[in-house]
């Protein structure tokens, strides 16, 4: 930070320009708002004077431009053009031209450009003000801290530099008072005026030595105003400024020591070690945070993958299910077709009856009839699928219906159904249960007196003779108008006897085959027919009801199932949510602990570096603390005494400051 002597003149020039102090004050307060990591007046000054590190100046200009314009593509080859544009926007001539670079300009012009860039930030009110705090805005408006008898004003800024402003020769607005807009409008006109060219602005205090020497000139002053100023400066300002300068110097030396790895005193080494330790801890913390972040991201990625995999699995499952359904349906259809074919085959076989083409067959009905006359048989027959024994359908139906206690109702459509079923005879079924069917049935009939073979033969003959006697010839017309002529005996419950005796002729007296049931249908009275229809309807209704009930039951079952599934799903979701909440709580706890740790670290840092912030920014706190002790500026009319004392040399505000200083001094 040492400056060669040949640059001393430039340095003096910078320090005698109040715009430079303004830039420094602005950046000390708002470096964060314009996007800089830090700002140091000394470094800035060195950069400007020596021109060694133009990079910092360019960076500063770019940041100011970015904050001003909001543009993102500010580059090395266009930022100076943007400055020219900003000047045009404000109707001002810019010193930068196509031939003249910023760094070719005299130092005064450079400072003017930087000053304007800072000043214009406030025009971009919405954008810029959003980034600064109310407190910052108030700190920005600085008053002089005091006056001397010659009318010089003394200004203290956040970089702990004290400037002196000599009294004005012609009327000129003060640099830090009043409305900024007004001042900006006039400074441009005044910047080249002779008044401004005089060195009315001087840097008075920079180093600790300067600060120690400065108040001596007022120590023995006979003027009250200077006595008060001396009192104020030595009591409030100097201790705090010296503290800040000391800690800054300490930090600077510490950093130098770290850079050069100097073997300095034992205490310094200890401090370095401590600093290193803190730095390592900070690094470790950052590393851990990074690790945690990576872990979390990994977890997130894994979860997402799992989710996608689940979706894929679910889709595959659905496709499989659908295929399975189609397959089952197809199988069902095939089965039905086969079933249908089998039914048709059975029907054909039962319809054709036994003994086709003279093949041998076995007939043994449960009515104990072992013989059958195929030629004249009218009773529908069925064959057992297992033992191939033929039986009367009505006998089987009667047997079946007797057990269900239903009236015997056997019509043609029922017969058609019978012919199609997969029929296993009662004997075969009994055999499966190791029961001899005939034995069991005959046992039941044991109560009846058994007739001898002769008696049976005789009874048969009697019956047939009886029937022959009452045989009648009847005419019946069916619904299609076909006339049948029937030779019939009287209605007889003994079917075996009547079967063979029925002879039915058509209208041409040709004998035809007509089933007993068809015959019955033909002969029935209208009342009987109505009754039959009614019963048929009832059965239909019953079947329909049963079907409906079954459907309803199925529906209810399905609904119940769905309800259960829904409940299960809800339960699962609840569990998952609970787990997530638990996890979130854990994370929050960890974060809180981490924050506490950081807070602790920061506190320790502060102990090491004094008023310097943990990030190495300049000691902003000092001037704010000063403000608390600085007397408040009151706008009040002057008393006559004060007027006399001050000789009307100052405006009302400066007088009121003095008044306050006075009153505080007397206390
Ligand atoms: Zn039978
Ligand atoms: Zn059988």
Compute the half-sphere exposure of residue 93: CA atoms within 13 Å on the CB side of its CA.
2
Going by C-alpha positions, the residue among 346, 450, 441, 435 that lies closest to residue 402 is 441
Between 11-15, 459-463, 600-604, the lowest mean confidence (pLDDT) is in: 600-604
238: its two tokens: 């100097």
Count structural domains, the chain. 3
- For the CA of 394, the nearest ligand: 1
Going from the Cα of 380 to the center of ligand 2, the distance in angstroms, rounded, reads 17
CA of 390 from ligand 2 middle (Å) equals: 8
Of 206, 222, 247, at which residue does a domain stop? 206
How many Å apart are CA 391 and CA 368, to the nearest integer?
Answer: 10
391 Cα: distance to centroid of ligand 2 (angstroms): 9
Phi, psi of 146 (to 5 degrees): 180, 180
Hey, what long-range contacts does 8-12 have (CB within 8 A, 24 or more apart)? 10/49, 10/107, 11/45, 11/49
Separation of CA 212 and ligand 1 centre (Å) = 142
Ligand nearest to the CA of 431: 2
The model's confidence at residue 321, banded by pLDDT at 50, 70 and 90, is: very high
Flag whether 10 is in a domain: yes
Q: Are 204 and 234 in contact (CB under 8 A)?
A: no
426 CA → ligand 1 middle, Å: 13
Give percent of the chain with pLDDT exceeding 70: 71
Q: Are 121 and 64 in contact (CB under 8 A)?
A: yes
42 HSE (CA, 13 A, CB side)? 12
Q: How confident is the model at residue 3, as a pLDDT?
A: 53
Residue 448 Cα to ligand 1 midpoint, Å, equals 19
Q: How far apart are CA 527 and CA 530, in angstroms?
A: 5
Nearest bound ligand to the CA of residue 499:
1
Q: For residue 414, how far is its CA from the centre of ligand 2 (angstroms)?
A: 21
Both tokens assigned to 108: 């005064």
Among all bound ligands, the one having the nearest atom to the CA of 438 is: 2
Kindly state whether residue 333 falls inside one of the protein's structural domains.
no
Q: 598: CA distance to ligand 2 center in Å?
A: 95
Residue 557 pLDDT: 95
Q: To which H or E segment does residue 543 belong?
A: helix 526-609
Residue 272's nearest CA partner among 283, 284, 260 is 260
What is the rounded average pLDDT of the residues 595-610? 63
Asked if the interface predicted TM-score (ipTM) of this complex is over 0.85, the answer is yes
Residue 485 has phi, psi (to 5 degrees) of -115, 125
Is the residue at 324 inside a domain?
no
| Cα 232 to middle of ligand 2, angstroms | 132
Ligand 1 centroid, distance to 365 Cα (angstroms): 4
Residue 354 CA to ligand 1 centre (angstroms): 14
- Rounded CA gap, 470 and 109, in Å? 151
Distance between Cα 430 and ligand 2 center (Å): 9
What is the domain range of residue 392?
Answer: 353-444
**Could you report the per-residue pLDDT of 122-177, keeping only the tens digit for each?**
777 667 777 777 666 666 667 788 888 888 889 888 888 888 888 876 544 444 43
* Strand bridging mode 483-488 / 472-477: antiparallel
User: Which-ligand-closest: CA of 390?
Assistant: 2
481 pLDDT more than 80: no
Instruction: Please name which ligand lies nearest the alpha carbon of 365.
Output: 1
* Contact (Cβ atoms closer than 8 angstroms) between residue 11 and residue 590: no
Q: Which residues are bridge partners to 81 per DSSP?
A: none
Q: Give domain status of residue 174, yes or no.
A: yes
Ligand with an atom nearest the CA of residue 363 = 1
Ligand nearest to C-alpha 424: 2
- Ligand 1 center to residue 29 CA distance, Å? 120
Distance 334 CA to ligand 2 centre (A): 28
pLDDT attached to residue 102: 85
Distance 351 CA to ligand 2 centre (A): 18
Cα(106)–Cα(46) distance, integer angstroms: 16
As a whole number of angstroms, the distance between CA 93 and CA 611 comes to: 43
* 73 is a domain residue: yes
- Tell me which ligand sits closest to the C-alpha of residue 388: 2
User: Closest Cα to residue 161, out of 32, 66, 25?
Assistant: 25
Domain membership of residue 599 (yes or no) is no
Q: How far is the CA of 368 from the centre of ligand 1 (A)?
A: 7
The ligand with the least distance to the CA atom of 427 is 2
Q: What is the pLDDT of residues 217-237, one digit of tens each?
A: 888 888 888 888 888 888 888
Q: Are strands 146-147 and 362-363 parallel, antiparallel or unpaired?
A: unpaired
429 CA distance to ligand 2 middle (Å): 8
CB count within 10 Å of CB 207 equals 12
Choosing from 444, 461, 484, the residue where a domain stops is 444
List pLDDT tens digits, range 378-393. Answer: 788 889 988 989 988 8
- C-alpha 348 to ligand 2 mean position (Å): 19
Taking the C-alpha atoms of residue 569 and residue 566, their distance in angstroms, rounded to an integer, is 5
Quote the CA–CA distance of 608 and 278 in Å, as a whole number: 10
3-state secondary structure of 66: helix
Q: Which ligand is nearest to the CA of 364?
A: 1
DSSP string, 619-639: -THHHHHHHHHSPPP---PPP
Residue 481 falls inside a structural domain? no
Token pair listed for 223: 């003027």
The answer to whether position 421 is within a domain reads yes
Which DSSP symbol is given to 511?
Answer: B
d(CA 524, CA 592): 99
- Helix axes of 18-30 and 107-119: crossing angle, nearest 10 degrees: 40
User: Which of 190, 206, 222 is the last residue before a domain boundary?
Assistant: 206
- Would you state the pLDDT for residue 508? 64
pLDDT 10s digits, 431-456: 888 888 877 777 655 555 556 677 78
Ligand with an atom nearest the CA of residue 437: 2
From the CA of 494, the nearest ligand is 1
Least confident of 145-159, 250-264, 370-384: 250-264
- pLDDT value at residue 125: 64
Task: Tell me how far apart the alpha carbons of residues 558 and 303 are, in angstroms, rounded to a whole number.
Answer: 34
What separation in Å is there between the alpha carbon of 379 and the centre of ligand 1? 9
Range from 231-240, 331-340, 532-541 carrying the lowest mean pLDDT: 231-240
Asked whether residue 94 carries a pLDDT value surpassing 70, the answer given is yes
């Amino acid at each position: 930070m040492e400056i060669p002597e040949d640059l001393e003149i430039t340095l003096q020039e910078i320090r005698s320009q109040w715009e430079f102090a303004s830039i420094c004050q602005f950046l000390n307060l708002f470096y964060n708002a314009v996007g800089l990591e830090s700002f140091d007046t000394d470094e800035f000054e060195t950069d400007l004077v020596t021109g060694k590190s133009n990079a910092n100046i360019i960076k500063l200009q770019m940041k100011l431009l970015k904050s001003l314009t909001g543009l993102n593509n500010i580059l090395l080859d266009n930022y100076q053009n943007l400055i020219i544009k900003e000047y045009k926007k404000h109707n001002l001539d810019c010193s930068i031209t196509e031939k003249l670079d910023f760094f070719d300009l005299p130092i005064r012009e450079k400072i003017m450009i930087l000053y304007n860039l800072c000043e214009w930030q406030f025009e971009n009110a919405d954008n810029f003000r959003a980034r600064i705090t109310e407190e910052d805005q108030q700190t920005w408006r600085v008053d002089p801290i005091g006056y001397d008898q010659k009318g010089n004003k003394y200004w203290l800024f956040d970089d702990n530099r004290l400037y002196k402003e000599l009294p004005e020769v012609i009327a000129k607005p003060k640099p830090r008072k009043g409305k900024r807009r007004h001042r900006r409008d006039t400074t441009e006109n005044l910047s080249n005026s002779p008044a401004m060219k005089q060195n009315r602005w001087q840097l008075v205090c920079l180093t600790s030595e300067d600060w120690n020497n400065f108040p001596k000139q007022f120590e023995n002053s006979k003027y009250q105003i200077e006595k008060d100023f001396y009192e104020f400066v030595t009591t409030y300002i100097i201790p705090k400024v010296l503290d800040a300068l000391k800690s800054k110097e300490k930090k600077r030396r510490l950093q130098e020591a770290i850079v050069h790895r100097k073997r300095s005193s034992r205490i310094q080494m200890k401090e370095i070690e401590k600093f290193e330790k803190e730095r390592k801890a900070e690094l470790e913390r950052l590393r851990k945070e990074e690790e945690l972040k990576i872990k979390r991201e990994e977890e997130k990625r894994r979860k997402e993958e799992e989710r996608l995999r689940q979706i894929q699995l679910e889709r595959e499952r659905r496709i499989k299910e659908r295929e399975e359904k189609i397959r089952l349906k197809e199988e069902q259809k095939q089965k039905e077709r086969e079933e249908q074919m089998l039914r048709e085959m059975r029907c054909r076989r039962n319809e054709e009856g036994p003994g086709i083409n003279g093949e041998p067959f076995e007939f043994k009905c449960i009515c104990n009839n072992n013989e059958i006359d195929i030629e004249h048989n009218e009773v529908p027959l069925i064959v057992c699928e297992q033992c191939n024994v033929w039986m009367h359908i009505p006998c089987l139906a009667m047997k079946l219906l007797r057990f269900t206690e239903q009236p015997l109702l056997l019509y043609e459509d029922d017969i058609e159904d019978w012919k199609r079923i997969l029929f296993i005879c009662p004997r075969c079924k009994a055999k499966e249960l190791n029961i001899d069917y005939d034995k069991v049935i005959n046992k039941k009939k044991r109560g009846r007196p058994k007739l001898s073979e002769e008696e049976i033969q005789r009874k048969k003959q009697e019956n047939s003779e009886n029937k022959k006697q009452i045989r009648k010839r009847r005419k019946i017309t069916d619904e299609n108008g076909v006339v049948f002529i029937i030779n019939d005996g009287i209605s007889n419950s003994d079917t075996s006897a009547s079967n063979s005796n029925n002879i039915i002729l058509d209208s041409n007296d040709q004998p035809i085959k007509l089933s007993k049931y068809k015959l019955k249908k033909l002969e029935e009275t209208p009342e009987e027919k109505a009754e039959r229809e009614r019963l048929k309807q009832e059965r239909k209704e019953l079947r329909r009801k049963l079907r409906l009930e079954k459907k309803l039951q199925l529906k209810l079952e399905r609904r119940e199932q769905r309800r259960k599934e829904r409940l299960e799903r809800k339960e699962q979701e609840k569990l998952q949510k609970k787990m997530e909440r638990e996890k979130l709580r854990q994370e929050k706890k960890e974060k809180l602990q981490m924050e506490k740790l950081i807070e602790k670290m920061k506190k320790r840092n502060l102990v090491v570096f004094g008023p310097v912030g943990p990030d190495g920014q300049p000691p902003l706190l000092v001037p704010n603390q000063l403000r608390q002790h600085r007397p408040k500026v009151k706008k009040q009319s002057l008393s006559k005494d004060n007027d006399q004392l001050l000789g009307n040399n100052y405006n009302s505000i400066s007088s009121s400051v003095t008044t306050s200083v006075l009153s505080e001094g007397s206390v």
